[in-house]
A and B are shown apart, each in its own frame.
Chain A
């Protein structure tokens, strides 16, 4: 039995501060920052953690920045020919000549035609030291076809040559052409995806929002387009482009063709997202307040899954870049004088090229790098697209 007659108070601590009923809701600074952040900010935080995706993004950004200034970066113009250097192998950049520092330079070529195999044999000419020049004058060009200039980032020595990645059948510098090709090959994917984005969002939006028979018709259409083998159709469509078309129109024609078959995946993504979102309260509220379907889709629904869409669009770009490469390789895509990686690779159609002039296959390196970078970048975006998870 306890002693009930005890009179002194219990010993316990009590705060002298006035009682604040909201104290439990107070957030730490870090928590506050997290809860107040916008959706895009949270996506960025999440994306940042994905190191591979981050670096892929940096690489892509650098490459797209390059496409803006190809004229300056490329040491030669894309059509400059050196008749004395046909199928010349890549040179390597040296720093020391006979133990002496001269800065970056290349050795000249010594050329000999093998009279038995008719193979052109180039050897390094150790006596000709050709130091590279930087921010120098060389081939004239028109920057973006507008401003005439002749300043390059790096050019060969005066009266010298610099073919860091060798030359092709006509003695044109492979490196310069690869740099110019980047402008075409990288933008083909972007334009193509813009077109399929448009078709995909429109059809997917209609299908997901209205449902019913419209939905099933569009679904069947998607299934049919998806079940078609892409390449033969791309081939057939590009064979339909008239031969007399100007190169720039061929370029746009090819991007449209690439975009035309790529939309079903996007349309499906839009539809399935819409189907779940249109049941949400904010959507019903907008409808009750008299918003038109166009406004509900465009203003309320689309923004809430834009991030997903961007991620799936990013993942669709590589197949377009590969598609352009394949078409041009077969001679049905872009045509000279346009320079793209696919056009360059089309010179390597013959197995002899692999054996004799393997450097003509080098444009495949940027293709692989870009496709990989887009894949990693897209994966990162997809993971970040739902930051609340």
Chain B
């Protein structure tokens, strides 16, 4: 088990390295950078002191250096210029647009993004498990057809539209306030019970919206897996021997079907993170979404890069967790050291 764990964690290092390279290439893809764009603007206005400040920042962050050097500096493996030390040293860089360190800007929203995605994962499991088991054991019943239909609808509806509609109807029918992560009076206050309650009630709609398509996919797969198991000989044998249906179900087929159920969460995580980005833009949640969009549009490279890195890190960690869960569940993986797929 320890062996497997170590192996699994070690694989993350090259993965994250490649991801960081990809992220860096992508954010540097548009011609120019935030500072040179800004400098052009200032030049036309003839603002000397601001221009000097920009030039200073450009030097400080080495934006005038070659690309590969910039990448290495961003990563933190290159002797740093000025104040900036790099990701590996825990320095996320400087947001040129907001004129603040990136970490100040995104610390809070990262926490909220992580909380939101965790809540979505819990929601997906809690909803899809009972429905999947129900659909498989009562195949072709009205309930099964209903859930299958809803599931297909959930897969096909763009999440941002679902967000818009649910926001509107939640407000009309239940009087839930629109948008945001908590009521306004709590935004800067300390964590109290009232604040937690406010966050929870605001969390409900985003969680449902982001989780819907994942839940639909999960139900489909759990149903298919469980149906496969239920047709096998050992189930018939156990039934013939008179094992009570419920005990039989829990003791054998569900355990077998649970395996893909757990490993699938790994595939769903990128999807969930994607979903959370667009849904937060629509619902103006203070998570990674809206600020990432803004940073990308204004080429605020360190801010955008940090967000992308963080989202990738979130998915990689999520996959690690799902792999560990799988290893705990399935001795074949634990012992042979790799997934048997």
Contact = CB atoms under 8 A, between A and B. Distances in A.
Given A229-B270, A232-B307, A355-B168, A375 B278 contact: no
Given A227-B315, A326-B160, A237 B274 contact: no
A318 B156 contact: yes
By CB atoms of chain A within 10 A, which of B22, B164, B293 has the most?
B164
Contact of B18 (A224, A226, A231, A345): A224
Given A224-B15, A354-B168, A361-B164, A232 B157 contact: no
B325 interface: no
Interface of B: 14-15, 18-19, 22-23, 26-27, 29-31, 152-153, 155-161, 164-165, 167-168, 178-179, 267, 269-271, 273-275, 277-278, 281-282, 292-293, 296-297, 299, 304, 307-308, 311-312, 315-316, 319
A236 interface: yes
A113 interface: no
A285 to B, nearest CB: 30
A372 interface: yes
A242 interface: yes
30 contacts: A220-B14, A224-B19, A227-B316, A228-B312, A228-B315, A229-B312, A231-B277, A232-B274, A232-B308, A232-B311, A235-B293, A236-B27, A236-B29, A236-B304, A237-B29, A239-B297, A322-B158, A326-B158, A326-B278, A329-B160, A345-B161, A348-B164, A354-B164, A354-B165, A361-B161, A367-B156, A371-B155, A371-B156, A372-B152, A375-B156
Given A325-B158, A345-B161, A228 B19 contact: yes
Interface string A207-251: 000000000000011011011111111011101101000000000
Nearest to B178: A351
A164 interface: no
A29 B127 CA distance: 52
A228 B161 contact: no
Contacts of B299: 239
Interface string A324-361: 01100110100000000000010011010011000001
Nearest to A325: B158
A368 interface: yes
A326 B246 CA distance: 43
B8 to A, nearest CB: 12
Given A231-B277, A326-B278, 11 more contacts: A228-B19, A228-B312, A231-B273, A232-B308, A235-B277, A237-B29, A329-B278, A349-B282, A361-B165, A364-B157, A372-B155
Contacts of A351: 164, 167-168, 178-179
B49 to A, nearest CB: 29
Contacts, number: 122
A168 B23 CA distance: 38
Contacts of B27: 236
Contacts of A228: 19, 22, 270, 312, 315
Contacts of B159: 326
B307 A239 contact: no
Contact of A229 (B22, B155, B164, B315): B315
A274 to B, nearest CB: 16
A240 B30 contact: yes
Contacts of B270: 226-230
Interface residues of A, number: 38
Given A330-B278, A351-B167, A242 B31 contact: yes
A357 to B, nearest CB: 12
A229 B270 CA distance: 4
B30 to A, nearest CB: 4
A239 B305 CA distance: 13
Contacts of A231: 273-275, 277-278
Residue in B158, B270, B274, B292 whose Cβ sees the most chain A Cβ within 10 Å: B158
Contacts of B267: 226
Interface string A98-119: 0000000000000000000000
B26 A240 contact: yes
B273 A229 contact: yes
Contacts of B165: 354, 361
Contacts of B167: 351, 354
A364 B153 CA distance: 12
B114 to A, nearest CB: 13
A372 B160 CA distance: 17
B316 A239 contact: no
Contact of A330 (B152, B168, B281): B281
Nearest to B288: A232
A367 B319 CA distance: 31
A236 B274 contact: no
A298 B292 CA distance: 43
A239 B312 CA distance: 18
A348 to B, nearest CB: 7
Contacts of A229: 269-271, 273-274, 277, 311-312, 315
A129 B115 CA distance: 58
B340 to A, nearest CB: 13
Contacts of B22: 224, 228
B281 A239 contact: no
Contact of A223 (B15, B152, B160, B161): B15
Interface in A55-113: none
A227 B168 CA distance: 33
Interface in A176-232: 220-221, 223-224, 226-232
B312 A227 contact: yes
